[in-house]
Amino acid sequence: MSTAGQEPPRVSVRVYYPHPDLQSYVTFYYVVEAAGPLTDFLYPEWGNVRLNLAGDWMVLNDPRDPPVPAQRVLYGPTDRRGKIVTGGGKTAGFGLTPGGWARLIGSDASKLANRVVEISDQIDLDVGSLQAALVADGDDDAAGVARFDRVLLDLLARRPPTPPAVLAVDHALRNQPRDVPTFAAMAGISPRSLHRLCLRAYGFPPKRLLRRQRFLYTLGLIRVTPDPTLSRLIDLEYHDQSHFNRDFHDFMGMTARDYAATPRALMQAAAAAQVAIGIPLSFRLPEPPEA
């Protein structure tokens, strides 16, 4: 964050859609550049792959993860605010939908929930060569996008189809079930199977997942509504604004008032870049992947 009397650091965020065949699995590609030191937070999100191209970048989500600069990392799904710190530099990567995690990563998402780990052993890609090529591309974002498309389309072709049960859970969650029994019924599986599948594909048990999605949906409305009045935007399942405020603190580690007063240079630049190419900020799940 900038100190009193100083200009905030210059931040550039550029986002791009992936190839149409990847859009059920990859949210978007991004390139982030900071001209100087920057500290900001990240919203709860799904899995993410980030490659450092210049300078040092750290994302801190879990005290088990050492506070060291990240070079080639995989971020598991999160249910809390993360912290990003850089002295300046450039990073690039892509977000994964839950279906993308199941198809492209394939490991148990609960093992990496809120974690940041070296990606080399987590994905069937030559990540070091990809990182070096992106560095060599320099400012040619189009070359980087084409490179991401090629390696991910190749990976998609080599990976097994998405399990039908994961697709069913994905479809049910996008329809915003109000409780776990309804969630299981909509997915057509038992509550026990739902619990197991939610942990593996989404990183969290069903009850926590429903709370997370309800909160993020309301937060998304707040982000896209000028001068929002919370009482008019919060999900009807919240008993009152105090109920929403408790969830806000649980998932974001701050009050809604503190959030509104916090400078968010990186997140604001990212939001503007998404809006510019028509990517919604609502945190709604994308369409489910095809098997």
Residue 257 included in any domain? no
Q: What is the DSSP letter of 110?
A: G
229-260 CB burial, b ≥16 within 10 A, e <16: ebeebbbeebeeeeebbebbeebbeeebeebe
Residue 123 included in any domain? yes
Token reading at 240: 């009152």
Tell me the pLDDT of the chain (291 aa) as tens digits: 344 445 555 899 999 999 999 988 999 999 999 999 988 888 899 999 999 999 988 887 766 666 667 789 999 999 998 888 899 999 999 999 988 999 999 999 999 999 888 898 899 999 999 999 999 999 999 999 999 999 999 999 999 998 899 889 988 988 889 899 999 999 999 999 999 999 999 999 999 999 998 888 878 777 766 565 555 556 556 666 788 888 888 998 888 888 878 878 888 889 889 888 888 776 666 565 554
Distance (Å, rounded) from C-alpha 59 to C-alpha 35?
18
Asked whether 202 and 143 are in contact (CB, 8 A), the reply is no
Count of CB atoms situated within 10 Å of the CB of 191: 14
Please tell me the total count of domains within the chain.
Answer: 1
Q: What is the pLDDT of residue 221?
A: 73
Asked whether 76 and 62 are in contact (CB, 8 A), the reply is no
Residue 33 included in any domain? yes
Residue 121 included in any domain? yes
Residue 171 included in any domain? no
Residue 186 included in any domain? no
Q: What is the pLDDT of residue 244?
A: 82
At residue 230's C-alpha, the angle toward residues 226 and 235, to 5°, is: 115
Give, in order, the Cα–Cα distances in Å from 20 to each of 101, 155, 278: 17, 15, 15
Query: Residue 137 is part of a domain; what is its CATH number?
Result: 2.60.120
Residue 19 included in any domain? yes
Residue 248 included in any domain? no
Range of the domain at 19: 11-158
At residue 232's C-alpha, the angle toward residues 231 and 237, to 5°, is: 75
Token look-up 């990859």 returns 26
Q: What is the pLDDT of residue 232?
A: 57
Q: What is the pLDDT of residue 155?
A: 96
Residue 288 has phi, psi (to 5 degrees) of: -70, 150
Token reading at 129: 């060569």
Residue 68: which residues within 8 A CB-CB, separation 6 or more? Answer: 58
